[in-house]
Amino acid sequence: METTGAKTRAGRDPSGAEEMTAALTGLVGELGTFRDDVMNRLHKQEERLTMLDRKTIRAGRPALSAATEEAAPHRKAFAAYLRTGDDDGLRGLDVEAKAMTSAVAGDGGYLVDPKTAETVRSVLRSTASIRQIATVVNVEATSYDVLVDTTEIGAGWATEAGPAGETATPTIDRITIPLNELSAMPKASQRLLDDAAFDIEGWLAARVADRFSRAEAAAFVNGDGIDKPTGFLTHPVVDEASWSWDNLGYVATGADGAFAGADALVDLVYALGAQYRAGASFVMNSRTAGVVRAMKDADGRFLWSDGLAAGEPARLLGYPVLVAEDMPDIASGSLSVAFGDFAAGYTIAERPDLRILRDPFSAKPHVLFYATKRVGGDVSDFAAIKLLRFSVA
């Protein structure tokens, strides 16, 4: 018995360490084989995905080419209409949206090419006009209504057991902005139009955008509302101390036709409600800006500061300045500086489409292009805009 026990102890480890080592070695080998199999499968899967991507790219190229070919007939047809008056291509196009070129039955007008329309819109947005800081909405009707809460809602303190008293109800004012027709009529000789190298779309867009931008800018400031937008300076003005709705409040400079000092600009800023000052801007023309630019405070610091980066507006008392040339020059009793949140105070409503009518008869040998756009504008919040009046009081 003792001899057998000794052999057992000498022949193998009673704890099974050798068996565990052998099992672990086999497991490691199996894991290595499994890993190699998985890597091989992943490699084959990547090869399949690469082949599918290449097939997809090849299949996608004709689609991109087809999209380009679909847009080409549209521009070609529009160019043909402008050059020669041939509208067969336009009438054969399927129209999916109002911004596409299509025939307008009855008057021979055509909605403008989308590329030209976008060019015109971009110029209008970049022009020094109230459009840059006002609210602009697109409408599909003859007018646009703005509902404004003109009074505060009533409120009061109440006790736990006491009855709640009736409070004041706010008043809603409806401001209707009619859409008026803005037109431009550039002309070009037929020989110039026949020249294939002539960029007729770019030329037409530039002429229309220039005319529209100047006409709009003037109307948004001084328009009388008769067949054009109503300018904010055409509304009645009252001293800020007696301001009421439907009027624009003003602050006097203290001198007739001149500044009595920089205090008037500070008074103008704080005549505007605090809720509007965060988004407020100054509006004035270049001559007035030249006068204001030289003004200093009591410590000798300029009130005017130029933008630190390209494209940034200049600032006056920390607020951006829009130089709009249609603002009046400084004169006796003039309203040459406006300050306010024009996004809240002035609304521009427009239809998103332009139209072009080609007229080869009225100005031979030139061809006239009658471009029209419907747009309107008016003050939508009389509390959001304040004016500086160059008068003693």
**What is the reported pTM?**
0.69
What pLDDT sits at residue 110?
59
What pLDDT sits at residue 121?
76
What pLDDT sits at residue 148?
82
What pLDDT sits at residue 96?
43
pLDDT-flagged residues of the chain (< 50): 1-10, 59-71, 95-108
What pLDDT sits at residue 15?
57
- Write the class of the CATH domain 97-154+167-393: alpha beta
What pLDDT sits at residue 61?
46
Q: What is the 3-state secondary structure (H, E, C) of the chain?
A: CHHHHHHHHHHCCCCCHHHHHHHHHHHHHHHHHHHHHHHHHHHHHHHHHHHHHHHHHHHHHHHHHHHHHHHHHHHHHHHHHHHHCCCHHHHCCCCCCCCCCCECCCCCCEECCHHHHHHHHHHHHHCCCHHHCCEEEECCCCEEEEEEECCCCCCCCCCCCCCCCCCCCCCEEEEEEECEEEEECCEEEHHHHHCCCCCHHHHHHHHHHHHHHHHHHHHHHHCECCCCCECHHHCCEEEHHHCCCCCEEEEECEECCEECCCHHHHHHHHHCCHHHHCCCEEEECHHHHHHHHCCECCCCCECEECCCCCCCCCEECCEEEEECCCCCCCCCCCEEEEEECHHHHEEEEECCCCEEEEECCCCCCEEEEEEEEEEEEEECCCCCEEEEECCCC
Query: Domain locations in the chain?
Result: 19-94, 97-154+167-393
